[in-house]
Amino acid sequence: MKGKNVLQELCRQAGAKRDHGRYSMAESAYIQALDLAGKLYGPDSLAAAGVANNLAVAYKYMGRFHDAAILYLRAIRIIRKRLGATHPEMASIYHNLGGLEHA
């Protein structure tokens, strides 16, 4: 249970840093969270997909479009595998990917 709490706290802190424009600090926390999600639940877990999506958003804000695209596609692959291609979460990730293409 402790690992799950640490993961949630890392994601909370990263989100707050991202929301305040501290993108490098957010990136560091999201990378730690992605590593922890992989260790706790596996690299192809829904937890990893969620963190990958959030890190991709930070990368988009940083102008790191290629890095963001890789993470969005990773999240799409995981969600499709775990929940199916028609799951509503797919729409959210595709929306984010579309926003990246627009940028």
Residue 2 has a pLDDT of 82
Q: What digits encode the pLDDT tens for the residues 40-90?
A: 999 999 999 999 999 999 999 999 999 999 999 999 999 999 999 999 999
Residue 62 has a pLDDT of 95
Q: What digits encode the pLDDT tens for the residues 75-88?
A: 999 999 999 999 99
Angle at 15 between CA 47 and CA 82, to 5 degrees: 20
Q: What digits encode the pLDDT tens for the residues 3-40?
A: 789 999 999 999 999 999 999 999 999 999 999 999 99
Residue 3 has a pLDDT of 79
CB 47 within 8 A of CB 40: yes
CB 103 within 8 A of CB 60: yes
- Whole-number Å distance between alpha carbons of 16 and 35: 19
- Whole-number Å distance between alpha carbons of 30 and 27: 5
pTM of the model: 0.91
